[in-house]
Amino acid sequence: MRTLIVEMIEPKRLGELVTVSREFCEQPDIVAVGTGQIPGSFAKAYQVEDTVAANLVSDLASLIVNEGYEVILLTASTLGSGIAAPLSVKLSAPVVSEVIRIQPDLVVERPLYGGKAVASYKLNKMPAILTIRRKYFEAADLQGFTDSSLLSITEKKVELIAEKEEKTEGIPLEDAEVIVSGGRGIGTAENFSILQDLADLLNGAVGASRGAVDEGWAQPTQQVGQTGKIVAPSVYFALGISGASQHLAGIANAKCVVAINKDEEANIFKRARFGIVSDYKKIVPVLIETLKEEA
């Protein structure tokens, strides 16, 4: 099936979509968004520097119709969510967002009800648009680079004034093998610093629940969960996090969850391998001391 990937030039995101594309075709085409070389080998590559979704929809729709693409793959991301739905109306095409599994015969799965249920859909009209949830498909190793031709933008609806990168100390959350996450139970922004101390000793990153982000104790870029980052670390420490299904949706692929919560009934213990029923303030400093002693 003629498959088109539309994605930022970012090797891991591209790699995951290439893996998905193999369910539909041997080699996909790509519209690479942003600047720089396009990593990997694509049958045909187009490049567009404009990274604002609203500006891309019209020209993408024309390209899809002209080239007869049948499957359009995007990452479930700010860019993907800005393109997928308007494109679906332009093309009268079905769209399935946050896909986590592809079965044979064009059946795709996505979670709903905060991950408490999973629905499968049969794609029976092409083109179909899929946004793929991060970390559910192993990123393909992208070899070499592909030359591209320019995809020109005819309708600039939105102007990008500035971009701000949220600086994170150490390893990015998405790549961390150890994540120390805090929730509303952490109590204050200052208290988040001991999570950073623990993360540093374990060569990890600090995450947060939506509760903690809403309180302003952590950055939105640190939010883990279905509307935050999807992560897949070896160890995920959940401190003062109740374990709402929408939070758990972000850690479904974590190998081991360590939950520390004052409430023995907290839902997080149902997802945890190891649980400690305690105030996090009692155990975290001791963990830090023990790690320091061992170093």
Ligand X SMILES: Cc1cc2nc3c(=O)[nH]c(=O)nc-3n(C[C@H](O)[C@H](O)[C@H](O)COP(=O)(O)OP(=O)(O)OC[C@H]3O[C@@H](n4cnc5c(N)ncnc54)[C@H](O)[C@@H]3O)c2cc1C
Which residues 260-279 are close enough to bind ligand X by CB under 6 A? 260-263, 266, 279
Q: Which of residues 77-96 bind other proteins (CB under 8 A)?
A: 77-78, 81-82, 84-86, 88-90, 92, 94-96
Residue 25 and residue 1 in contact, taking contact as beta carbons nearer than 8 Å: yes
Question: Exposed, middle or buried, 73 (CB in 10 Å: 0-12/13-18/19+)?
Answer: buried
260 is in an annotated binding site: no
Using CB under 6 A as the criterion, what x/- string covers residues 212-231 for binding ligand X? Answer: x----------xxxxxx---
d(CA 199, CA 201): 5
Q: Which of 56, 57, 74, 195 binds other proteins (CB under 8 A)?
A: 57
Using the structure block, give the residue that is written with the tokens 């494109």. Answer: 87
Using CB under 8 A as the criterion, what x/- string covers residues 2-31 for binding other proteins? Answer: ------------------------------
User: 47 vs 97, 149, 213, CA distance in Å?
Assistant: 24, 6, 35
180 is in an annotated binding site: no
d(CA 165, CA 161): 14
Using CB under 8 A as the criterion, what x/- string covers residues 138-157 for binding other proteins? Answer: -------------------x
d(CA 204, CA 199): 5
d(CA 87, CA 41): 26
184 binds ligand X (CB under 6 A): yes
112 binds other proteins (CB under 8 A): yes
d(CA 28, CA 38): 13
| Binding-site partner at residue 53 among other proteins, ligand X, none, CB < 5 to 8 Å by type | other proteins
C-beta closer to other proteins: residue 1 or 43: 1
267 binds other proteins (CB under 8 A): yes
Binding annotation for FAD: 184, 209-210, 223-227, 240-247, 261
